Chain A
Amino acid sequence: MTGKLDFEKVTVGQELSPINKYMTQEKINTYISAAEDYNPIHVDPEYAKNTAFKSTIAPGYQFIAYLSELMARDFGEKWITGGGMELRLIRPVFPKNTLTVGAKVVEKKKEGDSIFIKCDVWIRNQDGNDIVAGYTTVAC
């Protein structure tokens, strides 16, 4: 077991240690080079200027990955073999945004030989506004 949490000792109401991230256009470009998904809204500042956002925005799946990082940090390989996530994307992430990635345990129950843990999760920007909200589940 490589996760940091002791699943037996996890309690409902417990907040997981947050992660902080800083978005840049360079990070967006690096992600896009892996995804090969050249939507101009992410990579073309001239195009993006004429959109409602007036700027490029980060791809949703890029910052959603931060939540997976948090879950894998605390649930280890159990996240990879029994994790789930359902999210709403509420606001865009712009270059130079600072993000806080958080989670709180809202349910814990025994399911056969496993422990089922559900967390409310969120990503907030530097103004405290929700960027992403939803929940994760993991069978430990």
Chain B
Amino acid sequence: MEVMNLAEFYKGMTFPEYTYTLSEDIVKNFIAGVEETNPLYTDEDYAKRAGFGYLVVPPTTISLYVTPSRVLKTIDKKTPPGLIQAGQKYEFHRPIRLGDTVTVKAVVEDLTQKKGRDFVSIKGEAYNPDGQKAAVSIITVIWPPQS
């Protein structure tokens, strides 16, 4: 895959939809990596009492699949090394069930320049298997200089 060049982005650029499955193994590693302790995500009885009726995934797991690299993969491109995250917005609307496959619609939300640095913001909306919007993530990264 070729590295994406900053000049190829434009505000409002959309990407092909893609899917992502929140498998037990992936979520287990996420929970270990962030040392999450809330039983909502690991204790089925507790999750039932909370009103969901099933185990849900931590809401910021959307950051596992709304990343520049995953979004760019849909157009056979990859990120340059050294990308640094500078900002993050989330909206959480509905729980996502452990094991569910979500569909992601992504768009370039913004392109800005500050103090000689280039910032790229990518918005990803995650839809649950019923087609309902479950969560939104907008990640802003500093795009490294490219020759």
What is A's interface to B at a CB cutoff of 8 Å? 1-2, 21, 27-28, 30-37, 39-41, 47, 51, 59-66, 68-69, 72-73, 76-77, 79-89, 92
| Contact indicator A34/B29 (Cβ below 8 Å) | yes
Inter-chain contact B52/A77, CB cutoff 8 Å: yes
- Once bound together, how far apart are the Cα atoms of A95 and B30, in whole Å? 17
Q: Which of B33, B51, B82 gathers the greatest number of chain A CB atoms within 10 Å? A: B33
Q: Which residues of B contact A (CB under 8 A)?
A: 26-27, 29-30, 32-38, 40, 46, 49-52, 56, 58-60, 63-64, 67, 69-70, 79, 81-95, 139
Identify 6 new A-B residue pairs, CB closer than 8 A, beyond the known A30-B33, A60-B84, A61-B64: A31-B34, A37-B70, A41-B83, A47-B81, A61-B85, A72-B59
Contacts of B30 in A (CB 8 A): 31, 34-35, 65
B95 touches A85 (CB 8 A): no
- Cβ B29 vs Cβ A61 within 8 A: no
> Bound state CA distance, A76 and B95, in angstroms?
12
Contact assessment for B92 and A82 in the assembled complex, using a CB-CB cutoff below 8 Å = yes
A39 touches B82 (CB 8 A): yes
- Which of B26, B63, B87, B92 touches A83 (beta carbons < 8 Å)? B92
- Indicate which residue in B40, B82, B88 contacts A89 across the interface (CB closer than 8 Å): B88
Query: A85–B91 Cα gap in the complex (Å)?
Result: 7
Partner of A40, one of B33, B38, B81, B90: B81
Structural contact, A80 and B64, CB atoms closer than 8 A: no
Nearest to A41 among chain B residues (CB) is: B82
Residues on B with beta carbons closer than 8 Å to the beta carbon of A59: 85
| Residues of chain B lying within 8 A (CB to CB) of residue A33 | 29, 33
Q: Is the CB of B59 within 8 A of A68?
A: yes
Q: How far is the CA of A39 from the CA of B63 in the complex (A)?
A: 14
Q: Which of B46, B67, B70, B81 contacts A2 (CB 8 A)?
A: B46
Closest to A51 in B: B82
Task: Report whether A89 and B87 are in contact in the complex, using a CB–CB cutoff of 8 Å.
Answer: yes
Cross-chain contact A68 with B64 (CB below 8 angstroms): no
State whether A84 touches B92 (Cβ < 8 A): yes
Sample (6) of A-B pairs whose CB atoms are under 8 Å apart: A2-B49, A34-B27, A61-B64, A72-B40, A88-B86, A92-B84
Query: Known contacts being A2-B46, A34-B64, A39-B81, is A87 close to B87, with CB within 8 Å?
Result: yes
